[in-house]
Amino acid sequence: MKNLDVYKTTWENDEVHVNVLFSAAGVGTTILLTSKFTGKMMLLDVGDGATRDLLASQENSEFINEIDLIAISHGHFDHVGGLYSLFGFMRMLGRTKPLNIIIAPNCKEVIEIIRGYRELHRTTLPFKIWYHEISPGSDFDTDFFKVKSYEVEHYSLEHSSDLEDELLEPAHGFRVQVGGTIIAYTGDTRMCSSAEMVVKDADLALIEATRKTTPESGRRVHLSTEEAEKLGALAREYRLIHTIPETK
Ligand SMILES: [Zn+2]
């Protein structure tokens, strides 16, 4: 039996509680931000098992209505795989508030999941699901969370030698302001200037550190631990997430 705690971490200050419910490359990443003043919640990515992990992290099921906003970094399965289940759980327990989801422009996977779900349940869905394609550099604010999006560089395939630019995923990193606190999340990215802008001076930076070592050649898809730590030094505090799970 493996200990899954290595894929989870928490952080908090007076204003916000950050709970990395789970983050492992190729499995799932789900991060929950909770405003301590309002109780409102925001999700950064919704990986496989998100509903189960939300239930395990809460005293009750208030998250059904208290999730105010979801930001999806990109459409890879390990970042969106739990959306369908979360919608189903919210529908089953009667969420009524509209659910806003912000994505990079043309993030097809999320658009397909949302459109398909709305169509399947169009007469019995008690809440609206809206997606917003946010152009890089722009903001999306709710009454509780202020989000700035940055276009990071993340390729679709890792082991190809002739990747074309069209294989660059629509991928965003985010800076989320809760009160006066800035939480940064790189999403999946290789080292790039946008990733630096995402994490710079953040109170907490959540940084993908998929690779244990930095490859000497080839197209870079992810950060290595060394690169992620360099980025982390730009923030006040940081946590490395999205590591490759042990499979042996
Ligand atoms: Zn990815």
| Pairing verdict, β 172-178 and 181-185 | antiparallel
Q: Does the pLDDT at position 157 exceed 90?
A: no
Q: What is the distance in A from the centroid of ligand 1 to the CA of 56?
A: 25
What does the pLDDT read at residue 167? 74
CA of 207 to the centre of ligand 1 (A): 13
- C-alpha 172 to ligand 1 mean position (Å): 11
125: exposed, middle or buried (C-beta count within 10 Å: 0-12, 13-18, 19+)?
A: middle
User: What pLDDT score was predicted for residue 137?
Assistant: 92
Specify whether the backbone of 106 is left (phi greater than 0), alpha (psi in -120 to 50) or beta.
Answer: left
Q: Is 116 helix (H, G, I), strand (E, B) or coil?
A: helix
Residue 50 has pLDDT above 60, yes or no: yes
Q: How far apart are CA 61 and CA 211, in angstroms?
A: 35
Q: Where are the alpha helices (DSSP H) in 93-192?
A: 108-120
Q: Where are the domains of the chain?
A: 14-241
Write down the mean pLDDT value for the chain: 93
Confidence of residue 159 (pLDDT cuts 50, 70, 90): low
Residue 160 CA, ligand 1 centroid: distance in Å: 15
> What's the gap in Å between 14 CA and the centre of ligand 1?
32
Q: Ligand 1 mean position to 94 CA, how many Å?
A: 32
Q: What is the pTM of this model?
A: 0.94
Closest CA to 142 of 153, 151, 134: 134
Domain 14-241 has CATH 3.60.15.10: yes
Q: What percent of the chain has pLDDT over 90?
A: 81
